[in-house]
Structure 1
């Protein structure tokens, strides 16, 4: 826990002063009582239960006062809250290396099975989109709540050549922010495209200046309406640099959860008269998830992959975030103060 206004914690020094003030009042009352009765008579008249009743309301009020002073300092804590993700983009690697059978029956078949199970587990109001990427990336299914259309789209996925992880991230971002413009052919996809340059030039001639990027970057991981789940089994061989595209997602606050499928040491895949060696680039996937405040998962078997997608349901449905808890401290303090006053009225017919 931390405090936004820690300098106000000095006000807690008032607590021991209140305790000393309370002790002084008790001594004064005792002296006044002894003027009319002996000390033995006073002790005999007050049982242990009565002593507890005497001190409990002031103790509760002291705790309430402490809670109010802490609330003034604006406490902040990491709390677990239900997420508000209403759009999920599934980016699936369909490169030829997905034919490898180190994940049974094959990487591709295991991925399709796990993705279908994940789709079926989503709440009915969650929109799920599907992006496939190999040498290029394509939007296979726009975000939808229609599970049948989505499952049909998953079943239509076909293996292709190449691996463009960066393109997969960009097309996924485009599905979340349709008005955003990225250059899929550039190693620096964040630069203004030629179409944007022409549009900006036309706007300038019309007397209006159009900025190349008309959005303000936000804190990474702060966008609560959508997230990307990206699965791949290899290295990027073409397209934009993945970490640079991850920076674009981070600037828009979108988390990218990455899943590495297959073995790190790799496998030689043979198909259509050619062979290739494929291995998992875990470092890039870890950096992508780190930059966007997402999380990286490794799946070495089909069982691992299914377990990861199941765990993503709970991880995405519930998220931990830093939240100001001033209202909570104030509410607890108010309840303690009210309880103190009620007990004092009930037992002594006075408020403290």
Structure 2
């Protein structure tokens, strides 16, 4: 955690006062040595100016100066940026269950690997995030409305089954509608909570074939942007994947560029995952991004505590070294 600013920076002027006091201390020490040397009788000098502690006698004033500087910084109200768990947010997890997800280029299959990673994602999200689940193939179905109950979401993930078709646009539209409906129920003084759509797919849309059609993925991605619901698009699969479609093996390389375009049009970001491990890493990164937010927090307490401690230690050191409080 690093300093990002001060709420009352004028208190930092006290550091200048401490610097003036330090300079005055040095001047006094120099004058004291000059006046002491005026005594030419060494026996009388020893009686008038008995031997003082050496450099150790300067330790208490130096510690006091450091303590005062730290206390000045504390009074200035230092702030810092810190990641804190979100106490309200909505995420719709949208998973492609088209037949191409049966491809075994990612063992045991793309769908099985996606299910495992998605459940881990649900567990990693902070408790304040409401998570919902949508599956889509030829049409989109909302399996779980946004909720903080991760058990419901993971049960829905376990129930995913592959089917024909890929209606990515319908899935995005369903996610937007689910978030808006849920937002009306929990809208607070600051409006509905921030929302995000996490879309995982391995294939190109074919229902409709034109992504710019009314129900198309690009059109619905633009609608998501207008609704302030960015899409984190995850392209999952390999170029050499093949799946059993109606008893025949078909190549299912997917459309990586389409996924990137969907994410870009929505104001979100795209990710590529060619293995179960990479998918897990993507989900972990998203969980950290979504579940936490950066806030400016008060950072004065460490400065106050350390400044007070050093100031008290300077008094103790003065008593021990010089037998007086100086």
| Contact kept in structure 2, 1:243 and 1:284, CA below 8 Å | no
Is 1:248 matched up with 2:224? no
Give CA-to-partner distance per residue, 1:302-323, whole Å, 9 cap, x none. Answer: 2322344456566666665543
Does 2:313 align with 1:334? no
The answer for the alignment partner of 2:201 in structure 1 is 232
Shift in CA distance, 34/286, structure 1 to aligned 2, threshold 3 Å: farther
Q: Which residue does 1:200 correspond to in 2?
A: none
Secondary structure at the aligned position of 1:332 is classed as: helix
Tell me, what secondary structure is at the counterpart of 1:45? coil
Q: What is the 5 A alignment of 1:175-324?
A: 177-179=183-185, 229-234=198-203, 237=211, 238=216, 240-242=219-221, 244-246=223-225, 248-249=227-228, 257-263=232-238, 271-272=245-246, 278-280=254-256, 281=258, 283-284=260-261, 287=264, 291=267, 297-310=271-284, 321-324=295-298
Tell whether the 8 Å contact from 1:133 to 1:168 is kept in structure 2 after alignment: no
**2:133 matched to which residue of 1?**
130
Equivalent pair of 1:286/1:296 in contact (CA under 8 Å): yes
Give the TM-score normalised by structure 2: 0.67
Q: Write the distance in 1 (CA, Å) between the matches of 2:304 and 2:4.
A: 16
Shift of 1:299: 1.1
Matching residue within 140, 162, 165 for 2:167:
162
For residues 74 and 292 of structure 2, the distance between their equivalents in structure 1, rounded to whole angstroms, comes to 26
Contact 1:299–1:305 (CA<8 Å) still a contact in 2? yes
CA 1:149–1:283 in 2, change beyond 3 Å: closer, same or farther? Answer: closer
The answer to whether the 8 Å contact 1:87/1:128 transfers is yes
Equivalent pair of 1:261/1:299 in contact (CA under 8 Å): yes
Report the CA distance shift for 1:123/1:137 in structure 2 as closer, same or farther (over 3 A). Answer: same
Deviation at 1:163, TM superposition (A): 0.8
Question: Which of the numbers 18, 22, 46 marks the counterpart of 1:19?
Answer: 22
Displacement of 1:245: 1.5
Q: Distance in 2 between matches of 1:43 and 1:104?
A: 88
Do the aligned partners of 1:75 and 1:326 also contact (CA within 8 Å) in 2? yes
Shift in CA distance, 83/310, structure 1 to aligned 2, threshold 3 Å = same
Match of 2:208 in 1: none
1:2 equivalent in structure 2? 4
Q: Secondary structure at the match of 2:168?
A: coil
Deviation at 1:269, TM superposition (A): 6.7
Give ranges in structure 2 of 5+ residues lacking alignment: 206-210
> Is the 1:258–1:286 contact (alpha carbons within 8 Å) kept by the matching residues of 2?
yes
Seen in structure 2, the aligned counterparts of structure 1 residues 300 and 23 have a Cα distance that, compared at 3 Å, is same
Are residues 1:63 and 2:37 paired?
Answer: no
Any conservation in 1 of the 2:117–2:279 contact (CA below 8 Å)? Answer: yes
Residues in 1 aligned to 2:111 and 2:79: alpha-carbon distance in whole angstroms: 44
CA contact (8 A) 2:87 2:129 kept: no
What TM-score do you get using the length of structure 1 for normalisation? 0.63
Deviation at 1:23, TM superposition (A): 0.6
Larger Rg: 2
Structure 1: unaligned runs, 5 residues or longer: 182-213
Query: Displacement, 1:300?
Result: 0.7
After the TM superposition, which of the residue ranges 31-40 and 137-146 deviates more from structure 2? 31-40
Equivalent residue number for residue 114 of structure 1: 117
Secondary structure, counterpart of 1:245 in structure 2:
helix
Q: Between Structure 1 and Structure 2, how many residues are aligned? A: 304
Structure 1: how far apart are the matches of 2:100 and 2:291? Answer: 32
Are the counterparts in 2 of residues 133 and 167 from structure 1 also a CA contact under 8 Å? no
For residues 79-90 of structure 1, the aligned pairs below 5 Å read 79-81=82-84, 84=87, 89-90=92-93
